[in-house]
Amino acid sequence: PALVAQSAATIRHANEATATVERQMLPILQSLKQASANLEDLSDTLKRNPAAVLRGREPPRETP
pLDDT tens digits, 7-52 = 999 999 999 999 999 999 999 999 999 999 999 999 999 999 999 8
Residue 12, in any domain of the structure: yes
Residue 38, in any domain of the structure: yes
**Structural domains counted in the chain:** 1
Residue 54, in any domain of the structure: no
Phi-psi region of 50 (alpha: psi -120 to 50; beta: other; left: phi over 0): alpha
Residue 41, in any domain of the structure: yes
More confident of the two residues 55 and 17: 17
More confident of the two residues 57 and 35: 35
Residue 56, in any domain of the structure: no
First-residue to last-residue Cα distance in the chain: 85
What is the sign of the dihedral through the CA atoms of 48, 50, 51 and 53?
A: positive
- State residue 47's pLDDT score: 94
> What range defines the domain where residue 43 resides?
2-47
Residue 58, in any domain of the structure: no
More confident of the two residues 54 and 57: 54
